[in-house]
A = this chain, B = another copy of it.
């Protein structure tokens, strides 16, 4: 359908090289926007906010309305899947807190079917899709099984990942059962988003970089491949973006083996490497330093131009290497939008 396809994002994901590459920003909906803070104030808890379609779809649409990105991403959180599985999830000032599940307690208490508590997310997708212009893509997302498992086992963010890794080392079968459960839930959750109208989906593997090669293979690549295989079976036309943040030396294997259509790269991946080693296989998305967006001005402009000159000769989606920082001025995002509106010089 590439001939009739109007959505730039989907054209890039299908492997097309474009005069003006599409763009969106991870965490483009969020605290740096005053209109986000206003709508966020209308719900008490963060989970409640994510599960109220009227509010979540408004948050989804806000940045596109203001800056005209080529894609909206559903406003939600990767920890909705543990919530859907029946784990207690709360968001405090210091980040998320979960009642951790452990090697000892195991996964017996988690829900294995049903999952209807996430139905409001599909309604958010429907409302957002209806409100968006036809040329704007809508991206659904979920965390990757490994990253979601780290939060479920550590009970929040971690520095050393010792609980989750110790479980995986001591009892790989038992830990596999947890990964399998998350994998199933993730396939169901992303399928629901696709059925409701998501044009593409992204898998966030924020903690892909803390594993050895054997661990990366088993806990990042394998579950991701299972998710992509299952989704491709049901929805062959829906592209999948993978973001194995911090994967460093393993980005190449991820591009080759995980089954994604595009790879989102963090700031520590050089444009040259991405162009030569990743882009021949998959579309590449990224990778401006969020701090360069925070700083703005010429610093941002130079880095944007360098990234585009390296990557816009192949299938490419402009994005950050990580999420928008809450301290970012919306003015800088507006300046970025103007910068990205033109053709790539010399591409």
Contacts and interface: CB of A to CB of B under 8 A. Distances in A.
B273 A249 contact: yes
B325 A160 contact: yes
Contacts of A246: 209, 246, 248, 268
Interface stretch (A58-66, A78-86, A288-296): A288-296
Contact of A249 (B213, B249, B325): B249
Contacts of A209: 209, 246, 248, 268
A247 B266 CA distance: 13
A170 interface: yes
A256 interface: no
Secondary structure class of chain A's binding surface, majority of residues: helix
For this chain, the copies found in one complex come to 2
A268 B248 contact: yes
A256 to B, nearest CB: 15
Interface stretch (A115-123, A142-150, A161-169): A161-169
Interface in A184-240: 209-213, 216
B212 A268 contact: yes
Interface string A260-291: 00000001111111000000000000000111
Contact of A295 (B169, B251, B291, B321): B169
Given A162-B294, A212-B268, A249-B249, A169 B273 contact: no
Which one of A212, A251, A273, A327 has the greatest number of beta carbons of chain B within 10 Å?
A: A212
Nearest to A300: B169
A239 to B, nearest CB: 25
Interface in A107-126: none
Contact of A248 (B160, B211, B212, B249): B249
Given A209-B268, A210-B268, A268-B209, A291 B249 contact: no
A321 B86 CA distance: 35
A160 B266 CA distance: 13
19 contacts: A162-B290, A162-B291, A162-B325, A162-B327, A165-B289, A166-B295, A169-B292, A169-B295, A209-B209, A209-B248, A212-B268, A212-B289, A213-B270, A213-B271, A216-B268, A246-B246, A248-B248, A249-B268, A250-B268
Given A165-B289, A209-B248, A213-B270, 11 more contacts: A161-B291, A162-B290, A162-B291, A165-B291, A166-B294, A170-B299, A209-B268, A211-B267, A213-B271, A213-B272, A216-B268
